[in-house]
């Protein structure tokens, strides 16, 4: 009998649905086992457990895992991927309407990403275009490290945290 870690669903709750081992899922998706464990830990995917505590994944999660992998390779934060995939159920085979809702969320995530890349391109082209290349004069390089008060990292090149949340 198979059990999920949280809900107690059993194999009877998934009649006719093939369950795959973590090795099979890793082989099919190209995602490392450790990444699958992590995705499960943060709630991106779920597994069921055998009586011997081995993970088993419903086959329908392959598409979800592949989308997570592609989004991650594009640099989309896992929190955004999780939000975009929220309309897609994990405990049953998703229907077309579930994927359509998720598509709308993905569009929001990708649009925010596109805007951020275009803004970066505009800033870089402006800096290169002015020709000054002066660390004292260039606003992109943050003279006197004024933005250090806001935290670490490329403050001018990263979207504010609340802007990403508003776009979702």
Instruction: Tell me what the mean pLDDT of segment 75-87 comes to.
Output: 92
What gap in Å lies between CA 150 and CA 84, rounded to an integer? 28
Give the residue among 113, 41, 115 at the shortest CA–CA distance from 73: 113
- Note the pLDDT tens digit of each residue in 14-25: 444 689 999 999
CA distances from 103 to 12, 58, 136, 140, 158 (A): 31, 22, 45, 35, 25
Which has the closest alpha carbon to 9: 48, 54, 46? 48
pLDDT for position 142 = 54
**Residue 160 has what DSSP assignment?**
P
Give 164's pLDDT tier (boundaries 50, 70, 90).
very low
Contact residues for 62 (Cβ-Cβ < 8 A; gap 6+): 20, 25, 28, 29
pLDDT tens by residue, 97-133: 999 999 998 898 889 889 988 988 877 766 655 555 5
Q: Which pLDDT belongs to residue 157?
A: 53
């Amino acid at each position: 009998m198979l059990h999920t870690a949280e809900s107690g669903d059993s194999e009877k709750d998934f009649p006719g649905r093939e369950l795959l081992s973590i090795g099979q899922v890793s082989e099919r998706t190209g995602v490392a086992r450790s990444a699958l464990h992590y995705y499960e830990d943060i709630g991106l995917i779920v597994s069921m457990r055998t009586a011997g505590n081995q993970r088993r994944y419903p086959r329908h999660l392959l598409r979800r895992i592949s989308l997570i992998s592609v989004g991650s390779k594009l640099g989309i934060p896992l929190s955004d991927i999780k939000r975009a995939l929220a309309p897609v159920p994990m405990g049953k085979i998703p229907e077309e309407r579930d994927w359509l809702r998720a598509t709308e969320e993905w569009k929001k995530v990708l649009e925010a990403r596109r805007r951020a890349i275009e803004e970066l391109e505009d800033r870089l082209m402006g800096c290169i275009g002015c020709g000054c290349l002066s660390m004292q004069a260039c606003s992109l390089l943050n003279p006197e490290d004024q933005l250090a008060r806001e935290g670490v990292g490329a403050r001018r090149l990263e979207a504010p945290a609340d802007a990403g949340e508003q776009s979702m």
